[in-house]
Structure 1
Amino acid sequence: MILVTGGAGFIGANFVLDWLRHSDEAVLNVDKLTYAGNLHTLASLDADPRHVFVRADICDAQALDALFAAHRPRAVVHFAAESHVDRSIHGPADFVQTNVVGTFVLLEAARRYWSTLDDAARGAFRFLHVSTDEVFGSLAATDPQFSETTPYAPNSPYSATKAGSDHLVRAYHHTYGLPTLTTNCSNNYGPYQFPEKLIPLMIANALAGKPLPVYGDGRNVRDWLYVGDHCSAIREVLARGEPGQTYNVGGWNEKANIEVVETICDLLDDARPKATGSYREQIAFVTDRPGHDRRYAIDARKLERELGWRPAETFETGLAKTVRWYLDNQDWVDEVASGEYRKWVETNYAKRA
């Protein structure tokens, strides 16, 4: 069995589904079920004995100790995190608590459990920490891509707390010998993403006839990674990664935000055309977020060189799949569009018009 934290969130749930498509090994799925956790995403596993869900907080050491003792996982894959930059600007305390304190508590629980294992099991155990490229800060247009040795320079409360969690994971390997692995990924997109993030927000607003809010001049650049590719990379790192190492996971798809939004509009124009005009007419530039990083770009050559991994999807194929998924799964979208979500969108964008 493997223990997955945050397995009802966007990337975590996709990973659980992907894992059980490729393996018969059971998953102990531990999630606090905050606003972005959605068990409906995992509805297809309701009758699957390989999926064991436990609602618990990674800051609860007693609960974690009990789970390790009862289920004895051979590995931890740690997704649980607060992850939205704008939310971290409005309320950084939750990010410090979950991303830093929660990772510390989880590491301590894993270390206590790991220390009880026999030599073979200790050697085989892995703690894989899923992180972000945002810990590296911002790049200028001509700067080289982030590598595994790029100095950390986080610019938001979110990225600072993820940087702190990365440092804790590194320290637990070097100080205690805990066999850790860290992945730093670029911007994920795909099915089941909560509609506060750029791509699902643009799809939802476009179909609802609402403005498509684009920060600043829209020229901020991100490297886009289809979530299914990210899941396959994590499986490779967990299986064959070298303990103590970090691996960058990117999609080799640098795109300006405005280009992403325009491509979404074009896909919707083809798949669900408006009575008149184009969805591009709904694009509205709004006041930029404070400290908005200009460019992220991942150099994923280490992962390709050492483990043979490359993304299967291009941006064009991955985005087309994503738009089609949202069009075909309106029930899921409607379910997550809760009162809290609507309040968040109103709070974040009402003053940016």
Structure 2
Amino acid sequence: MTFDADNACDQLPLWKQSPVFTGTTKFDKLEGTCNILVTGGAGFIASWLVRHLVLQYPEYNVVCLDNLDYCATLNNLKCLQGTTFQFVKGDITVPRDVSSTLEKFAIDTVFHLAALSHVDRSFGGDSFEFTAVNAYGTHVLLECCKSYGKVKKFIHVSTDEVYGEINANDDDLLESAILAPTNPYAASKAAADMLANSYYKSFKMPIVIVRCNNVYGPHQFPEKIIPKFVCLLESGRKCLIHGDGSNTRRYLYAGDAIDALDTILHKGTIGQIYNIGTADEISNLDLCKQLLDCFGYSATQHEAFIQHTQDRPFNDCRYAIDATRLKKLGWAQKTPFDQGIQITVDWYRTFGLTWWGDISDILTAFPVGPLANIRTM
């Protein structure tokens, strides 16, 4: 769903020029739910969730805890000025930040989305940070909530990557599948999942675990493949593809992911795990070609904007999860990939190069394409 914002013009702040994106679901108020904490709320998926909860449910008080690292921006939340929404700058790895927020706002429900999520960075010099934020940060949050003792539902948002890769002919994985992560990012998220489950088992904390396919859409920092490629193409640069580009991923539009989280909040069962999955699967190479189509480039021009580079140390061939359990709660995917990708491309072509400030350092490392002076709309 898109709430109309002011018409774009040069005099308006950037955040006022953008459409305001949310999900589409709306449920009756959940008894006992009043004050909801969303960690990482200035980031991508979490900011979609914050906007959705604030605008769809004015009866809830929504609080965001975020340390505003490089991939977060208050531009994602400024449209909520004048509402009851509260922003707290704080770090989930710092117990006093978490505890003081829980107490001050009398939090009864937690959505935990704060995480480092860029797989490429987890292979490099930042790998310790992934463990610190994703595993230790989750542990801090769980322990603070346990000590606080007033949280009635704790929804821990994870990833399909914790299951590891599966082959082309394998069945979609159920929530009962073993965790077999193959990269440092996925391993840190699997550790967080296990911590969350241990607090449910050991301390009877009201935990729900959610594992989602790749989510895409407006407001995602341009380090992930879709926003990065759109921003590169908008700058007249080439897209670098790991290996031969045959690795596939399943992509779910952010609005559908938020509908799923909303459904789980209002209808999900404590102690349960829910996969949020889609059948929209595409290889990295074909994804790049589809984005080039969105820019108006013909098939004969595609190769001029594609360059292959050395693959990751290990690159899962594919992920695939079964969302039957979630669908039984009434959730359904509403946004076809072709529709969602066009919305996403249109937003990034207008806002992507400036939404997070100067992102030139991300783009200048990529080679310039031969058609750099040709602009298509």
TM-score, normalising length from structure 2? 0.84
Q: Cα offset for 1:338?
A: 5.7
Structure 1 residue corresponding to 2:309, chosen from 286, 300, 312: 286
SS of the equivalent of 1:335 reads coil
Hey, what does 2:374 align to over in structure 1?
Answer: none
Is the aligned partner of 1:71 residue 2:105?
yes
Structure 2 residue corresponding to 1:160, chosen from 187, 191, 206: 187
Q: Cα offset for 1:73?
A: 1.3
Q: 5 Å matches for 1:200-349?
A: 200-269=227-296, 278=301, 280-305=303-328, 307-330=329-352, 332-333=354-355, 335=357, 337=359, 339=361, 341=362, 346=365
Runs of 4+ in structure 1 over 4 Å off: none
Q: Does structure 2 retain, via aligned residues, the 8 Å contact 1:133–1:146?
A: no
Instruction: List gaps (5 residues or longer) in structure 2.
Output: 1-34, 368-377
Counterpart-to-counterpart distance in 2, 1:226 and 1:293:
21
CA RMSD of aligned residues (A): 1.9
Counterpart-to-counterpart distance in 2, 1:21 and 1:68:
22
Tell me which amino acid in the other structure corresponds to 2:40.
G
Is the aligned partner of 1:100 residue 2:114?
no
Counterpart-to-counterpart distance in 1, 2:83 and 2:55:
14
SS of the equivalent of 2:100 reads helix
Q: Cα offset for 1:182?
A: 0.7
Q: Cα offset for 1:21?
A: 2.4
Q: Does structure 2 retain, via aligned residues, the 8 Å contact 1:18–1:228?
A: no
Q: Does structure 1 retain, via aligned residues, the 8 Å contact 2:158–2:210?
A: yes
SS of the equivalent of 1:53 reads strand
* Structure 1 residues 29 and 290: CA distance shift in structure 2, 3 A: same
Instruction: List gaps (5 residues or longer) in structure 1.
Output: none
SS of the equivalent of 2:357 reads helix
Q: Which moved more, 1:248-257 or 1:185-194?
A: 248-257
Hey, what does 2:159 align to over in structure 1?
Answer: 132
Q: Does structure 2 retain, via aligned residues, the 8 Å contact 1:214–1:283?
A: yes
Per-residue CA deviations over 1:26-77 (Å, capped at 9, x if unaligned) read 21100011111111121212x2332111110001111211111111112000
Tell me which amino acid in the other structure corresponds to 1:321.
I
Q: Cα offset for 1:316?
A: 0.9
Per-residue CA deviations over 1:251-290 (Å, capped at 9, x if unaligned) read 2211111111111110111xxx69x974552011111111
Q: Does structure 2 retain, via aligned residues, the 8 Å contact 1:218–1:257?
A: yes
Tell me which amino acid in the other structure corresponds to 1:288.
D
Counterpart-to-counterpart distance in 2, 1:108 and 1:293:
33
Tell me which amino acid in the other structure corresponds to 1:180.
I
SS of the equivalent of 1:329 reads helix
Q: Does structure 2 retain, via aligned residues, the 8 Å contact 1:6–1:80?
A: yes
SS of the equivalent of 1:7 reads coil
Counterpart-to-counterpart distance in 2, 1:151 and 1:175:
20
Counterpart-to-counterpart distance in 2, 1:32 and 1:210:
32
Counterpart-to-counterpart distance in 1, 2:302 and 2:289:
8
Q: Cα offset for 1:322?
A: 0.7
Tell me which amino acid in the other structure corresponds to 2:315.
H
TM-score, normalising length from structure 1? 0.90
Q: Does structure 1 retain, via aligned residues, the 8 Å contact 2:41–2:66?
A: yes
Tell me which amino acid in the other structure corresponds to 1:193.
Q
Per-residue CA deviations over 1:94-127 (Å, capped at 9, x if unaligned) read 000000100000001111112xx4xxxx6xx100
Hey, what does 2:27 align to over in structure 1?
Answer: none
Q: Cα offset for 1:202?
A: 0.7
